[in-house]
Amino acid sequence: MGIEGLWSFLLKTGYEATLHYHSLICATSNPFNPFNCNAYIRFDVLGTLHPIIQNAYSNHSLDTAHKIMERELGKYGTPENLILYLDGDACEEKKHTHIYREEVRAKALMDAQQGLDELYQRVQSKSRVRKEQFVAVIKALDMAFHWSKEARESFAKYMRLIASSRM
């Protein structure tokens, strides 16, 4: 995924990229070198595992959710050879989108609360409860899900501990 023509536009405006990490060890072509860049698997966690993240962090404690994620990531590689990419804070250019998504989540939570109130009233009045009412509440809660920054940081710390304990 990317923006077509972004780099040519940035070059025209005089933007110079900052190199955050460079290793001469990675430049070697020896496939048996453990520091060979090609030996690592770069993995976008949120983009690839969103349904699993949503299920794990919505229905389980933080520790259990971390273990579920570790088990799921184990299908793609070990903590030693995976480079995990976790989303950070929203950048300034995306603030409007971030605010809009927060509003959508808040509305979804209100809809879920209204659905729960309606379910409660129907149960209290001994009226019939329909499947559609449950589905509406579940759908609203799914729309309101957000993998919080604290949970992402906690997961990153957990994976670092797992990787360091195996070395």
Per residue of the chain (167 residues), give pLDDT as tens.
467 777 778 778 887 766 555 444 454 555 555 555 556 788 889 889 999 999 999 999 999 999 999 999 999 888 778 888 888 887 888 889 989 999 999 999 999 999 999 999 999 999 999 999 999 999 999 999 999 999 999 999 998 888 888 76
- Does the reported pTM lie above 0.75? no
DSSP per-residue codes, the chain: ---TTHHHHHHHTT---------TGGG---TT-TT-GGGSEEEEHHHHHHHHHHHHHHHS-HHHHHHHHHHHHTTT--TTTEEEE---SPPGGGHHHHHHHHHHHHHHHHHHHHHHHHHHHHHHTTPPPPHHHHHHHHHHHHHH----HHHHHHHHHHHHHHHHHH-
CATH of 6-166, one of 3.40.190, 2.60.40, 1.10.8, 3.40.50: 3.40.50
